[in-house]
A and B are shown apart, each in its own frame.
Chain A
Amino acid sequence: MAYFLGIDIGSATSKGIITEDGSTVSRHLLPSGVNYRLAAQEMVEGLLAKSGVAQEDIACTVATGQGSANVEIADQEVADIRCCARGIFSIFPSVRTVIDVQGQSTQVLRLNGEGQVANFVVSEKCASGSGRFLDIIANVLQIKLEDIGPLSLESKNPVTFTTGCAVFGESEAVSRVSEGVAREDIIAGVHQALAEKISSLVGKVGLEERCAITGGGGLNTGLIKWIERKLGIELLVPPEPQLVTALGAAIMAEEACK
């Protein structure tokens, strides 16, 4: 029996998948924490424990994500954009554009008919353009991550921040709340700004219909709506958007064995 392992050590969350014959046997998520190496070990142990698969039966492991270098058992490290492409292609073969919203960066890719990356672009290295901005604001406003999206949609009057910096944005959000600005207006402002940045990235690679969203940002129903409004299209959302890259890594592992 041959199993394949895909591990995505993200900046905030580590994700892992075991597949067999192209179908997922087991999945696991845990916070990456402050030590990627530890997270990688726990991920492998967790996955094996959940699935009951023995380590010897893993034919091949592909690691990806920020901390991919810390996965000791990996046979290969692969760039996360490639894994993301493979993953989404196995779910939605017709998708041609993917918006991948991760913690540290946002990337937009175009796919060809075989699930390969035909073009891609990565956001700038400023947290104000990444999912992290949402996390920071959600945290100070004491809103659960899963609630920020729906809440943002209730806003009639999204706040424009006076700062473009995620760090200062945090204190600005706090002060605004204490001055009576509604939380949904603040969180909507952040969503709107992020959606604008994303639509500009999409412009760079060009939008081709059938566009999907992946990464942790795909769990955010509000963000999806904001992006849809900006782009004027509907986004496809895979059932487990945050796991798409890990799935792609597992598929890569299978390919590597062939």
Chain B
Amino acid sequence: MAEPSKGLLRAQEIYQDRSQRALELREQGKKIMGYLCIYPVLEMMTALDIVPYRIFGDMREPITRADAYMPSVNCPFLRSCLDLGLKEKYDFLDGIVTSHICDVGSSLSGIWNYTVRTPFSHHIDTPHTLHETSLKQERGLLEDYRKALEDFTGHKMTTENLKKAIRVHNEQRALVRELYELKKPDPPLISGVETIRVIKAIQSIPVDEGNELLRDVISEVKERGDGPQTKSARLLLWGSILDDTALPEMIEGLDANVVMDDTCVGSRPYFNDVEVTGDVIDGLARHYLMDIKCPRTFRTRDYNDVRKDYMKDLEVRFSYLSDYARDWKTNGVILESVRYCDTHGYDVPGLRDYLDNLGIPSIYLEHDYTEGALAPLRTRVQGFLEIIS
């Protein structure tokens, strides 16, 4: 038998056939838990030896069954997820955890329960604000979630196991950040396309295996000679779900490298650690409510400010992006969103104001989550590259 592949090759294999490992583990009697978006707390799954498996859509597969259950004016990514569910592509899941990511995301959990009927399901109603009360609420919600998982597995989640899980997940976060460090040089050592493959791969396998994969990738990337070439543009990619390499492939086929991103199949879930607090759940609640920066959360400079200062407000909401732009030396930002995504859509004008103010050029691209939709975007990206070069 051939040597099992490692590093980037392995990442690509998993990217192309995501469920393969999950199916193997299921054979061995492990429970596989699907989750949508990045708000369902993974540490609690890992603590109970459940394998977290992120649910994605497939922009290469036409949506044919989901339209019966969800109007086409809704997020095509979620419609695609549902479509795959209805086509029995997620039948190997033992359960599914959803959270209040957005309206359609919440609705989907009910629709999924009605139509796909995965045996176990749980919904976490993550609040939108960072008010003190919200933190308390999130904490309570996580207690419920913990109980639900315990009932599901029939095992207690000990503090010890939970702490251990937090440590492995933090390790994963650190490894991802280390990987992103390798994107800082010019040319970057790993391309945007490869990055998505790696991230999607680690969101498809148990966390410890993901860490091993990350380590392999990091050492391979550091040493290889056939990495990306220097290009005139170093881009930061911001946006809603991007679970396919098609868009970065198109961009990197032009005179640009995607060197940094703020998307949830990218840096978003990994750039802050979970603090191991005395009461472990406190730290988890704080992380998942406050640390993940995503337009679904209402963030403002100071909730008790009686006067709004627009620019300062934008600063608080988006300054991490200017840090990214500075540290990864990007000279342009591509804002990307699937059509009908409200949470990202409302942020676009403000975010562009902010970037304009800093003199960072940006462009907004909207697509309907099909592969074919990307071709017409090519001229736009190229035009943008001509503007910034």
In the complex, is A directly touching B at CB under 8 Å? yes
Q: A203-B68, A204-B68 are in contact. Are A160 and B63 (CB under 8 A)?
A: no
Find chain B residues with CB under 8 A from A230 CB.
64
Residues of chain A within 8 A of B67, CB atoms compared: 200, 203-204
B375 near A203 (CB under 8 angstroms)? no
Known pairs A163-B372, A199-B64. 11 more at Cβ < 8 A?
Answer: A160-B372, A161-B372, A162-B375, A163-B375, A196-B64, A200-B64, A200-B65, A200-B67, A203-B65, A203-B68, A230-B64
Residues of B within 8 A of A200 (CB): 62-65, 67-68
**Smallest beta-carbon distance B153→chain A, Å:** 35
Q: Is there an interface contact between B372 and A164, defined as CB atoms closer than 8 Å?
A: yes
For the complex, what is the distance from the CA of A109 to the CA of B376, rounded to whole Å? 35
The CA of A171 and the CA of B22, in the complex, are separated in Å by 45
Set of chain A residues within 8 Å of B68, measured between Cβ atoms: 200, 203-204, 206
Per-residue CB contact flags for chain B residues 64-81 toward chain A (1 = under 8 Å, else 0) read 110110000000000000
* Most chain A CB within a 10 A radius of its CB, from B63, B64, B67: B64
* Total B residues in contact with A, Cβ cutoff 8 Å: 10
Shortest beta-carbon distance from A163 to chain B in Å: 8
Interface membership of chain A positions 59-103, coded 1 if the CB is closer than 8 angstroms to chain B and 0 otherwise = 000000000000000000000000000000000000000000000
Among B361-379, those with CB < 8 Å from A are 372-373, 375-376
A200 vs B373: C-alpha distance when bound (angstroms): 19
A196→B68 CA distance, assembly (Å): 14
Between A and B, how many residue pairs show CB distances below 8 Å?
26
A199 contacts across to B, CB distance below 8 A: 64
| B65 partner residues in chain A, CB cutoff 8 A | 200, 203
Distance between Cα atoms of A163 and B372 in the complex (Å): 7
Q: Which residue of A lies closest to B72 (CB)?
A: A124
Question: Contact: A162 with B372, CB < 8 Å?
Answer: yes
User: In the bound complex, what is the Cα–Cα distance between A258 and B244 (angstroms)?
Assistant: 62
Least CB separation from A199: chain B residue: B64
- Tell me the B45-101 residues at the A interface (CB within 8 Å): 62-65, 67-68
Interface string of A185-203 (1 = CB under 8 A from B): 0000000000010011001
Residues of chain B lying within 8 A (CB to CB) of residue A163: 372, 375-376
Interface centre among A200, A204, A230 (most CB of B within 10 A): A200
A230 to B373, alpha carbons, bound, how many Å?
23
Q: How far is the CA of A199 from the CA of B373 in the complex (A)?
A: 21
- A85 → chain B closest CB, angstroms: 20
The residue of chain A having its C-beta at the shortest distance from the C-beta of B368 within the complex is A164
Give the shortest distance, in Å, between B166 (CB) and chain A (any CB).
Answer: 43
B373 contact set on A, CB distance < 8 A: 164
Bound form: Cα–Cα A32–B376 in Å: 36
Nearest Cβ in chain A — how far from B148, in angstroms? 32
Q: Which of B62, B372, B375, B376 contacts A196 (CB 8 A)?
A: B62
8 pairs of A and B residues whose beta carbons are closest in the complex: A203-B68, A200-B64, A204-B68, A162-B375, A196-B62, A200-B67, A203-B65, A199-B64
Q: Is the CB of B372 within 8 A of A203?
A: no
Residue of B nearest to A205 (CB): B68
In the docked arrangement, what's the CA distance between A199 and B375, Å? 25
Query: From A200, which residue of chain B is reached at the shortest CB distance?
Result: B64
Complex Cα gap A163–B373 (Å): 8
A69 → B minimal CB distance (Å) = 30
Complex Cα distance, B370 from A160, in Å, reads: 12
In the complex, what residues of B have CB within 8 A of residue A164's CB? 372-373
Shortest beta-carbon distance from B111 to chain A in Å: 14
Inside 8 A of A204's CB, which chain B residues have their CB?
67-68
Chain B residue, CB-CB nearest to A231: B64
CA distance A164 to B376 in the complex (A): 11
Interface residues of A in 160-176 (CB under 8 A from B): 160-164
Report chain A residues within 8 Å CB of B64: 196, 199-200, 203, 230
The contact string, 1 if C-beta is below 8 Å from chain A, for chain B 180-205, is 00000000000000000000000000
List the B residue with the shortest CB-CB distance to A161: B372
Residues of B129-185 at the interface with A, using a CB-CB cut-off of 8 Å, are none
Q: List 13 A-B contacts (CB under 8 A).
A: A161-B372, A162-B372, A163-B376, A196-B62, A196-B64, A200-B64, A200-B65, A200-B67, A200-B68, A203-B64, A203-B65, A203-B68, A204-B68
CB distance from A227 to the nearest CB of B (A): 12
A106 to chain B, nearest CB (A): 14
Assembled-state Cα–Cα distance A215/B39 (Å): 49
Tell me the complex Cα distance, A161–B373, Å: 11
In the bound complex, what is the Cα–Cα distance between A204 and B375 (angstroms)?
Answer: 29
- Measured between beta carbons, the chain A residues less than 8 angstroms from B375 are 162-163
